[in-house]
Amino acid sequence: MSNTPDDRARYDAIIVGAGVIGAAVAFELSKKGYRTLNLDKLPAAGYGSTSNSCAILYMQCGTVLFMLEGGHHEKVLPLFDEVGVPYEVWDNDTLAERVPFFEHGTHGEPCRPEDDRFWAEPQGELVGALFTPDSGYVSDPQLATHNLQRAAENVGGEFRFNVEVADVRRADGRVAGVTLSDGTEIDAPVVVNVAGPHSFVINRMAGVYDSMNIKTRALRHEVHHVPSPAGIDYEKEGLHTSDSDLAIYVRPESGNNILIGSEDPGCDPQVWVEDPDDFDDVVSDEQWNAQVLRLARRMPSLGVPNEKKGIVDLYDVSDDWIPIYDRTDLDGFYVAIGSSGNQFKNARWPATAWPN
């Protein structure tokens, strides 16, 4: 691809990445009148880690959060009251009535099936459950991102796919634009790093990696799909459920399956990935057993299939697990990174804050 004369001065902001957050940044900046260009090395919007997001958000099935003594609900409830999130507090009888397929035992510090403690009798009971009727999930996160792309284009945003950013250029002490892997140079006074698990690679290109107090890294993550137990239509009757006792979350998955994700207990090995273009994307026996057996403890009627099904993708994790939507030491170079497995739901707001 050669430089068009226009490319040099045509854009107010280049956005590196067209995942759900990159597309949202484009939409918000374009609405404000910025001429934006998203560049993505993959063939379509939302094709990167977004495509494998569990996207817990919109399909309104409601969420059940199991309550433990001293658990998350104690922090969350006052915030729900403050901002007016509707909720119901269920005791265990109500939980049994509304969601009959869950066991109520608690099992102490989460552990792996290799540990004898995993198989011990429950130590106590849940305190109950917190139900938020308005929450849910998106069954196709890539389509949601495509829709955001179209919304951004409708207000003037442009997207180019199958193009790889190879360098972030500086001039006069500020960002000047990017260079693509085929040598094309595109200039803009603002460059936004929204490269998901590749965020640290782009920060290195911009020369800001070392000066950042909080850094980002790519963490391998597995999500599994199991068929609903006989007689249960989990796709219709199931809820998104957060089970911090067993350190898993589940939600309905199309095809009457149950999706099982991990809440990252300390006993599970963390697999940090040095090169986000080269990681093992096959579901492992060890993690499949850990996550599926954890659900089987909560849902005794669940069968454990021999055939493993699921996805493997990367979280972009910041040192403190809090995303970074900020400017950097390099004038004009912004980041929307460190989404740590939980920012699909927030993709609409970050771009409203900057740049001014």
Among positions 13, 16, 68, 130, the unique one binding ligand FAD when judged by CB under 6 A: 16
Rounded Cα distance between 72 and 242, Å, is 10
First to last CA, the chain: 32
Between 217 and 221, name the residue whose CB sits nearer to ligand FAD.
221
How far, in Å, are 82, 84, 87, 95, 356 from residue 78 at the CA level?
Answer: 6, 10, 11, 22, 33
Minimum distance of ligand FAD from residue 44's CB (angstroms): 9
Q: Examine residue 48 and tell whether it contacts ligand FAD (CB under 6 A).
A: yes
Q: List, in sequence order, every residue forming a beta bridge with 159; answer none if it has no partner.
A: 38
Q: Examine residue 14 and tell whether it contacts ligand FAD (CB under 6 A).
A: no
Q: Examine residue 39 and tell whether it contacts ligand FAD (CB under 6 A).
A: yes
Q: Examine residue 47 and tell whether it contacts ligand FAD (CB under 6 A).
A: yes
Site for ligand FAD in 178-217 (CB under 6 A): 194-198
Where are the extended beta strands (E) located within 7-141?
Answer: 13-16, 36-40, 63-67, 88-90, 105-106, 124-125, 128-132
Minimum distance of ligand FAD from residue 94's CB (angstroms): 26
Among positions 26, 29, 37, 56, the unique one binding ligand FAD when judged by CB under 6 A: 56
Residues 6 or more apart whose CB falls under 8 angstroms from that of 74 comprise none
Among positions 40, 187, 245, 253, the unique one binding ligand FAD when judged by CB under 6 A: 40
Between 127 and 195, name the residue whose CB sits nearer to ligand FAD.
195
Q: What is the DSSP string of 122-164?
A: P-EE--EEEEETT--B-S-HHHHHHHHHHHHHHTT-EEEES--
Q: Examine residue 73 and tell whether it contacts ligand FAD (CB under 6 A).
A: no
Q: Examine residue 59 and tell whether it contacts ligand FAD (CB under 6 A).
A: no
Residues that bind ligand FAD (CB under 6 A): 16-22, 39-42, 47-50, 52-56, 164-165, 194-198, 221, 223, 313-315, 339, 341-345
